[in-house]
Amino acid sequence: MKTKLTSILCLMLALSGAMPIQAQQQLDSVVVTASRLNVQAGQMGQRVTVLRGEALQRIPATSLDDLLRYLPGIEVQSRGLFGTQADITMRGSTFNQVLVLIDGVRVNDPLTGHFNGYMPVTMAEIDRIEIIHGASSAIYGTEAVGGVIHIITKAFAQSSDKGLDGQAEVQYGQHQTLTGSAGIDWQTDNLRLVAGVQHAQSDGHLPKGDSLPYDFNLTTVAAGLGLQLAPNVRLSLRSALDTRDFNARFFYTRSTYDLSREQVRRWFNQAALRWQHDERHETQLVAGYQTTTDSFLFNPAFPGNHHTTRQLDLKGWHRIEAGEAVRFTLGGQYLGKRIESNDRGNHRTGQFGLFALAHVQPSGKWDLQGGLRLEHESSFGTELVPQLSISYRVLPALRLRGFAGRSIRAADFTERYISTNLPALSPGRNLGNPDLLAERSWNVELGTDAVLGPTLSAHLTGYYRHATNLIDFVLTEGSQIPNATNIDPSGTYFFAQNIAELQTTGLEAELRYRKELSAGALEATAAYRWLDFAQDG
């Protein structure tokens, strides 16, 4: 049994003319589309944060992952500047256990969770960001363990504003650092066109005693189109290209032979059709297809690794409001993953999910929300994923909430297949395991949201997660590794296995202050997080 304690204190001050997070006076008024039930944030029974695009523009961030650092409850572990690469964790999760979505389409890459921070979206495109703190696998399937980050772009958002809006900026600094961004937003009665570009490059700083500067060249270009085909039918389309070329030395190892360089290219395409049949019935169809190419060279003296992954994300659901106090959603999803790699081989998987969600309001004070998902994938079989949440309004300015649910995470292609396609693997290297089971977790949380005055609000959440089948690379004798023909039986390897159980207990506290001023508003956020880990295995 091992225990680890972590405490973090965050403070953010901002002067803005827009509300970055739901107003204290309207604690429950923001509708969360990530719920797929279109309920208000205070009715979900989980901690939910919603940030508007106007406020995001005023936060002094150089990239999207840099912006997420300002949000309580999210930890961003960056490697490199200006969003070169970042791992995102929530509530003590691993970087593989946070689900990132753009307009409902998965960003998480099937190769490795290290790529989940490569979000192919420009700051100028963002309408809002919805963050669900905690498990949501019943809604979204695998990877939604520590939380969900849902980015909604302007092309996929409803807005009554019309006209043309644009922005651009360029900055130059030492080490030949050049950054720039630009965006346009043009809207008429039935059409909305949004486009953006973001670029950062630098020759990089040269650490003392080193011969390789940490240079980078990062570019994101995107365009989206929203079409109102009829008063009750909307079609949205979007495409984005994200390219990255950077010095990756010591990103993944501390070896003295590490002279790593990496190039990543991601092409992200998506479409959505929303059909509002009448006041009580709505159908949504969402499709996404992404191709990611990764070229990684550890050292010029050794052959490089080249991977291409393709991911098809298809989903649809129908929402019904059966009455004033009852609504439910039925839907399904298909997730197809494919890899072509000289190191990991050529593989493909198909993942199917069926889900049912319901929200009931038995009285003006109570909100009950439940979900059930049946998930199947060839690698881990069939999993049943339930969740239930309760919200109770004690006073107009005070809510209590509770949540319990199961979550799962499937092994990625690196954990399953790394080095399995090499003709001969030297001892001491990582080796994948095609027989890995899904990680499983049970999650419980209790919390409260309160308005303490016209300028002050508070949020407090305690949570517990019991995870099993956690995946890690364990030093293993070659003779104990089954079905591996490219290893030395007398050597030892870091072999991927389901080996651990982990119990995570945590507490999150937030205090928000907002004061209206003639030129906008002053907002401050103080947050405290406490974590305790107990591991078996």
* Confidence tier at 515 by pLDDT (50, 70, 90): confident
pLDDT band at 100 (very low <50, low <70, confident <90, very high): very high
Question: For residue 59, is pLDDT > 90?
Answer: no
Instruction: State mean pLDDT over 318-344.
Output: 94
Residue 134, classified by CB atoms within 10 Å of its CB into exposed (0-12), middle (13-18) or buried (19+), is buried
- pLDDT confidence of residue 150: 95
Mean pLDDT of 59-72: 83
Q: What is the pLDDT of residue 332?
A: 97
Residue 3 has pLDDT above 80, yes or no: no
Lowest mean pLDDT among 55-69, 185-199, 255-269, 423-437: 55-69
Q: How many domains does the chain have?
A: 1
- Is the pLDDT score of 2 beyond 60? no
Task: Tell me how far apart the alpha carbons of residues 173 and 202 are, in angstroms, rounded to a whole number.
Answer: 9
pLDDT of residue 384: 96
Say which CATH number the domain at 258 has.
2.40.170.20
pLDDT higher at 411 or 204: 411
Closest by alpha carbon to 313, among 125, 94, 110? 110
Greater model confidence, 488 or 175: 488
Cα dihedral 65/68/74/76 (nearest 10): 30
- Residue 72 predicted with pLDDT over 90: no
258 vs 271: CA distance, rounded Å: 41
Where does the pLDDT of residue 20 fall: very low under 50, low under 70, confident under 90, or very high at 90 and above?
Answer: very low
Q: What percent of the chain has pLDDT over 90?
A: 62
The reported pLDDT for the residue numbered 119 is 93
Residue 54 domain boundaries: 2-536
Sign of CA dihedral 136, 137, 139, 144: positive
Q: What is the mean pLDDT of residues 104-121?
A: 93
Q: How far is CA 181 from the centre of its chain?
A: 23
- Of 389, 387, 396, the C-alpha closest to 365 is 396
- pLDDT, tens digit, for every residue of 164-215? 999 999 989 888 889 999 999 999 989 999 999 999 999 887 776 677 788 8
Looking at per-residue pLDDT, the higher value among 301 and 443 belongs to 443
Least confident of 199-208, 217-226, 472-481, 499-508: 199-208
Output the pLDDT for position 28. 54
pLDDT score of 209: 66
Segment 143-148 shows an average pLDDT of: 94
Confidence of residue 29 (pLDDT cuts 50, 70, 90): low
Percentage of the chain exceeding pLDDT 70: 93
pLDDT attached to residue 13: 45
Residue 293 has pLDDT above 70, yes or no: yes
Q: pLDDT class for 1, splitting at 50, 70, 90?
A: very low
What burial class does residue 336 get, using C-beta atoms within 10 Å of its C-beta: 0-12 exposed, 13-18 middle, 19+ buried? middle
Identify the pLDDT of residue 9.
45
Q: Which two tokens stand for residue 421?
A: 């396609």
pLDDT band at 55 (very low <50, low <70, confident <90, very high): confident
Residue 4: pLDDT above 70?
Answer: no
Check whether 78 has a pLDDT greater than 70: yes
What is the spatial distance between Cα 192 and Cα 183, in angstroms, rounded to a whole number? 13
Q: Taking residues 347-360, what's their average pLDDT?
A: 96
Average pLDDT over residues 148-168: 90
Query: What integer pLDDT is reported at residue 537 of this predicted model?
Result: 57
Contacts of 431 (CB under 8 A, 6+ apart): 418, 419, 420, 425, 481, 484, 487, 493, 494, 495, 496
150 vs 173, residue with greater confidence: 150
